[in-house]
Structure 1
Amino acid sequence: MRSVPVNEAGLRIGEDHPNAKLTDGEVEIIRQLHEEDGLSYKALAEKFEISKGAVAKICRYERRAQYPVKWKEIQE
């Protein structure tokens, strides 16, 4: 058994979501590289092998911006 974060609807969020392509750490690195170092969406998209649109949504906190409301036990 393992604990995973869930939102208010009880759905898994962040890197524990079944469709997540990036870890939570990678998301923070993307935001940091854009905000502090000024890397473009295109450069970040190429570096992390995701679309430019996905990078834009991550940097604008439209994606991967949920915080856990509770934790749920799952079997692996």
Structure 2
Amino acid sequence: MDNNPLILFCLIDGEATANTVLIEIESTKTIGDLKDFIKTKQNPAFDDIVTESLALWSVSISGDDNDEEILVLLNTRATIHVI
């Protein structure tokens, strides 16, 4: 890992927020690299998913938000940016 790794908390659509997946990846990696890493980390659950078909969203959620607010945000996708 480089000196400035990205630490991402990944939510899987349809899963409880308690099942958040922590990903640490070098900041120089591409979105394709991130998708590959997520697929590998979610093995075997993502075995039947083609890496290129993974849809990733960039969401900013402040540290004081609760699960209800997160679910509302995810359901409305109002401030979610597809990457």
Normalised by the size of structure 1, how large is the TM-score? 0.30
Higher RCO, 1 vs 2 (CA within 8 Å, ≥6 residues apart): 1
More helix by share: 1
